[in-house]
Structure 1
Amino acid sequence: MRRLFELPPEHLGAARSWLEHGERTPRMPRLASSVVLVRDSPRGVETYLGYRSGNSPLGAVAFPGGSVEAADDDAVTWYGPPAAKWAAALGLTDHRQARLHVVAAIRELFEETGVLLAGPDESSLVEGPAGEEWMAAREAVADQEKGFGEILGRRGLGLRTDLLKPLSNWISPDFAHRRFDTRYFAAAQPVTQQPALLGSKGAWASWVCARDVLAERDTTALGDLVGQEDTRGLNLSQLTSPAVEIILEKLAAARGTIAYLSHKRPVVKYHPELVLVDGTPMLEVVANFAAEDAAAQRSR
């Protein structure tokens, strides 16, 4: 289960400094959430990837996601499993932290794609949250001018937390200047909603077939398609984080979105470590199955 991954070029300097000057106390990781949006296609399961600027710990090309914010603790109507059950599913003892991760996941998905996992009741989903009014709401939430709970409350909507599925937990490597403790979730693309870039910040995003991306993982196809200065000429490992690659591998192996989302999986914890391979810094990833077993026991 030992895997080695290349580092993005912009992370090599920090990695070499960490190795050359000895290990130091790593920065405290920020809590974060990310959502793997999936749908079926004739070529296999597709997912929605977007470009992230600024040396994001989630990768230059990644799933929608970002930091947990203080406003994620605001009151909001909640449909689906209670926070206690979410904590058990995520392998957490802190119910509040579990709630924060779930709220942040749905909020970040809304901010970055416009897909809103919320509805007026526990069995309905808002239809077509598009147009100028909804884009203005996304911008207001992204700029922290308005709280996500306020946006939902004014429209009589509650979070459909039952539409999220927990996937895995990734902690950024110790050498990184910006570190995240990220919970990855999955959700099916709602049939009445379509993702769209955030007007003020979006640069590139697209549906991609996981199998196709992996078939070209050693080429620069994806980086050239994104077309940004820091993506052109890079292969998949240089564009993304190990979390994205491993999740893409699981998507490519799935028989469809229903099979992927219905598969019962305890949350595995990953904490990539920096290693030297023939003088080159690389990330070593080993699945923490002790965490997996503990989560499985708590969810029973």
Structure 2
Amino acid sequence: MNPIVASIIDTPLFVGMSGLELNAVSAFLEPRRYARGDIICRRGDPGTEMFIVRTGSVASLAVDRDGNDRQLYEFGPGRFFGEMSIIENEPRSATCIAVEATELLVLEGLDFFRLVWEHPMIGSRMLSSMAHVMAGWLDEASGFLHDLVRWGETARKRAVTDELSGLFNRRFIEEASRSRFSRNSTEAPVCSALMLDLDRFHTLNERYGTQAGDSIISAAGVAFGKLVRDGDVAARLAGDEFAFFMPDAGPEEALAAAERIRAETESLFFDLRATAGSELNRVVLSASIGVASSPGDATDPDGLFAAADRALFKAKESGRNRVARFAG
């Protein structure tokens, strides 16, 4: 048996997983050793890794209301920590120190999201186990972690989605595109990216208010989510900026998808009031979309989205409510 699988098979985080699933997880885990007193992570550091104790033990220290360090937990073999910073994309809330010679299995944040993307059942089971185990820790802490632990069964969704639009978030689409490119070490894969702006959204937001603007973003998110293929990623980046990643889609397929999205956007309308008691105005949406494809337009994910963004600029400069392809 794989030695890493042998050491995690009975841990609460991986309970109920099959041998194949455990082998898939083990490929992402890096063994790392610490001497007694070594600091594993500091409070306030960026949270880019989570840890599973293989041997030894780790103390978790946080600051109490008087400003003093207080030991929250001592993590023994099979326990895990650091997952909140990955899930919430927030700095570390505690300092963790090796109590004795300790070996940890380390899961990088990037690899965590690859697991969620490439093996959704594994990701779902891990997060369910996290929520169950952490419920017990909350009882042990007698409320001390009330402000530190703020997630439960919806953790997986909140980690990867934009709340207002219901689509994926920027972090997820970036990880998904990087994962797709990383699988092809010798040549860039066939895939496409779309960048979309809602036309004159800022003017609408200023005239009708942020509540109306939020309603527009929410409705657009619902519409966009229904138009993508299985395996595609639709995401809201910020404000009225959206992006789409289409694995295995060439230029023609991407252009056709962009035109469907543009036409669907044009079918959305809202009856809005500029001020309370004023007349209703019918507002019809439109969108400008830029399209770029790999390997023709770019050979890495950052270059692909940059090319799509330049094509988006061209669509807006050409009069908006249209699709433009990257032209070099």
By the TM > 0.5 criterion, same fold?
no
Q: State the structure with bigger RCO (CA 8 A, min sep 6), 1 or 2.
A: 1
Pairwise TM-score range, normalised by the shorter structure: under 0.3
TM-score (structure 2 length as normaliser) = 0.22
Name the larger-Rg structure.
2
TM-score (structure 1 length as normaliser) = 0.23
Higher helix share: 2
